[in-house]
């Protein structure tokens, strides 16, 4: 089956990202595919390339990126939720006259419509919230 | 059949009670994260009405020092068991 | 699709962001039903205002639902009663859901979004 995950918890504050990443490896181990991870609410902080965790803690941003590399999973970040929390990419930084940006490929800023569409393109959606 | 996923304990939240009221006769409930605190007696009695349809994520129980303390009504599942529950359900509903 | 709203206004953005999902769903042509449950019923109390520092409330968004053809607003009766509220305290006309019907509401909808 093709799965999508909705992640709504901030990394290093809530367990939601850990649970979602663990669930992601388990579903892949069972022969399913992970098509999309959609980040909403405080989940958008998972997309910050500037996160700098101590070396003895898991690098969650890197773990998401690896899912994209190994599975081709789309990492979609709700643009409305992200912008107001300072999670912007280079294009939005330019557009709003800001210096620096937090979001880089393979994470993509996108509209909420993509979350609605997930149901037509995936078999299961599982939500991980704080 | 729906799989309800709960990460709140009945000791600290009313959300578990809302989830129980919304569950259909065949629906299942999985406790994970802080929800696993509800797997231990006497809190586990909260879920007496759904005996046989309640599951607990083992790794969250273990990390909290509660392994082997869960009530006998609780069925333990590992992460792959969680995935299997989502395969069997038509959809999942998360309560947080 | 069913959007379950279970959080109260002002204290967090769950309600606002849940409503956004309902509005976007409707804008994309989905038939959207909204279920207010738990603290979500507080969203419907008449007489809300914006918060300090210009914090936007969600009450104006509720008034917009009808414009988006979201006209099925379901409210869990038990959640109202637990909070000392009745249907007369609410800013919009709603359909009450009783204890026996609540599981049926979930069973009859797909997809379900829970906020």
CA of C25 vs chain B CAs: smallest distance (Å)? 18
Given the DSSP bridges, would you call strands B91-95 and C2-5 parallel, antiparallel or unpaired?
A: unpaired
A61-66 mean pLDDT: 98
Looking at chain B from residue 54 to 93, which residues have their Cβ under 8 Å from any Cβ of chain A? 59, 78-80, 82-84, 86-87, 91-92
Q: Is A119's CB within 8 Å of C1's CB? A: yes
ipTM of the complex: 0.97
Which of the residues C12, C22, C25, C55 would you substitute to probe the A interface, choosing the one with the greatest number of A C-beta atoms within 10 Å?
C25
Instruction: Please give the CATH topology (third level) of the domain spanning B2-95.
Output: Hypothetical Protein Ychn; Chain: A, (3.40.1260)
pLDDT for the residue numbered A63: 98
- Indicate the pLDDT class of residue C50, thresholds 50, 70 and 90: very high
Query: How confident is the model at residue C84, as a pLDDT?
Result: 98
Closest-CA distance, B34 to chain C, in angstroms, reads: 18
- Please answer yes or no on whether B93 and C4 come within 8 Å at the CB atom: yes
In the predicted model, what is the mean pLDDT of residues A12-37? 98
Q: What is the mean pLDDT of residues C82-104?
A: 97
CB-CB contact of A41 with A34 (8 Å) = no
Q: Do A113 and C30 touch (CB under 8 A)?
A: no
Neighbours of A75 (CB within 10 A): 22
Boundaries of domain holding C61: 2-48+55-114
Task: Order the strands of the C112-114 sheet from edge to edge.
Answer: C95-97, C72-76, C33-36, C2-5, C112-114
Q: Which of the residues A78, A79, A87, A115 is marked catalytic?
A: A78
CA pair distance B83, A38, nearest whole angstrom: 18
Based on the structure, what is the number of domains in chain C? 1
Q: pLDDT tens-digit profile of B37-82?
A: 999 999 999 999 999 999 999 999 999 999 999 999 999 999 999 9
Residue A123 burial (10 A CB sphere; 0-12, 13-18, 19+): middle
Q: Residue C7 is part of a domain; what is its CATH number?
A: 3.40.1260.10
Would you list the domain boundaries of chain B?
2-95
pLDDT at residue B75 in the model: 98
Within 50-109 of A, beta carbons closer than 8 Å to B belong to none
Residues in CB range of A38: below 8 A, 6 or more apart: A4, A5, A6, A7, A76, A77, A78, A114, A115, A118
Q: Which pair of tokens denotes residue C39?
A: 């603290």
Q: Minimal Cα–Cα distance from A44 to chain C, Å?
A: 13
Mean pLDDT, to the nearest integer, of A72-87?
98
Ramachandran angles phi, psi of A103, nearest 5°: -110, 130
Q: Which of A88, A76, A84, A89 is nearest to A116 (CA)?
A: A76
Q: Is A64 exposed, middle or buried (0-12, 13-18, 19+ CB in 10 A)?
A: buried
- What is the 3-state composition of chain C as percent helix, strand, coil, each rounded to the nearest 5? 45, 20, 40
Q: Out of A19, A23, A128, whose CB is closest to B83?
A: A23
Residue range C69-87: mean pLDDT, rounded: 97
| A42 Cα distance to chain centroid | 10
Q: Residue A71 — φ and ψ, nearest 5°?
A: -120, -10
What band does C104 get if pLDDT is binned at 50, 70 and 90? very high
Task: Say what the pLDDT of residue A10 is.
Answer: 98
For the stretch A82-105, pLDDT in tens is 999 999 999 999 999 999 999 999
Using CB atoms, pick whichever of C1, C13, C28 lies closest to residue A113. C28
pLDDT, mean of residues A65-86: 98
Return the residue matching tokens 């639902």: C65
- CATH for A2-128 is 3.40.1260.10
Contact C20 A112 (CB under 8 A): yes
Residues in chain A closer than 8 A to C16 (CB atoms) = none
Q: What is the mean pLDDT of residues C97-115?
A: 98
Catalytic, A78? Answer yes
């Amino acid at each position: 089956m093709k799965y999508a995950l909705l992640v709504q918890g901030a990394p290093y504050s809530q367990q939601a990202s850990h649970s979602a990443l663990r669930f992601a490896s388990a579903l892949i181990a069972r022969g399913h595919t992970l098509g999309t991870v959609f980040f909403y609410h405080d989940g958008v902080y998972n997309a910050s390339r500037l996160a700098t965790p101590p070396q003895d803690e898991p690098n969650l941003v890197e773990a998401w990126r690896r899912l994209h590399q190994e599975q081709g999973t789309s990492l979609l970040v709700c643009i409305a939720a992200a912008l107001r929390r300072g999670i912007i990419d280079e294009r939005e930084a330019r557009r709003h006259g800001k210096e620096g940006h937090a979001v880089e490929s393979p994470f993509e800023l996108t509209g909420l419509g993509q979350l609605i569409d997930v149901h037509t393109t995936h078999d299961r959606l599982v939500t991980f919230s704080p | 059949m729906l799989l309800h996923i709960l990460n709140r304990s009945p000791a600290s939240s009313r959300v578990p009670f809302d989830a129980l009221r919304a569950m259909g006769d065949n629906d299942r409930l999985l406790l994970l994260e802080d929800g696993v605190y509800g797997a231990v007696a006497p809190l586990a009695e909260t879920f007496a009405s759904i005996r046989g349809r309640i599951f607990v994520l083992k790794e969250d129980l273990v990390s909290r020092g509660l392994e082997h303390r869960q009530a006998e009504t609780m069925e333990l599942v590992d992460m792959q068991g969680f995935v299997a529950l989502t395969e069997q359900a038509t959809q999942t509903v998360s309560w947080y | 699709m069913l959007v379950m709203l279970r959080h109260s206004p002002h204290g967090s953005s769950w309600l606002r962001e849940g409503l956004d999902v309902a509005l976007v769903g409707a804008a994309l042509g989905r038939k959207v039903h909204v279920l207010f449950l738990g603290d979500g019923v507080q969203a419907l109390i008449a007489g809300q205002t914006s918060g300090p520092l210009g914090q936007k409330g969600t009450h104006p968004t509720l008034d917009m639902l009808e414009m988006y053809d979201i006209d099925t607003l379901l409210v869990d009766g038990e959640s109202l009663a637990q909070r000392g509220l009745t249907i007369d305290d609410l800013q919009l006309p709603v359909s009450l859901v009783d204890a026996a019907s609540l599981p049926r509401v979930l069973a009859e909808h797909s997809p379900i979004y829970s906020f």
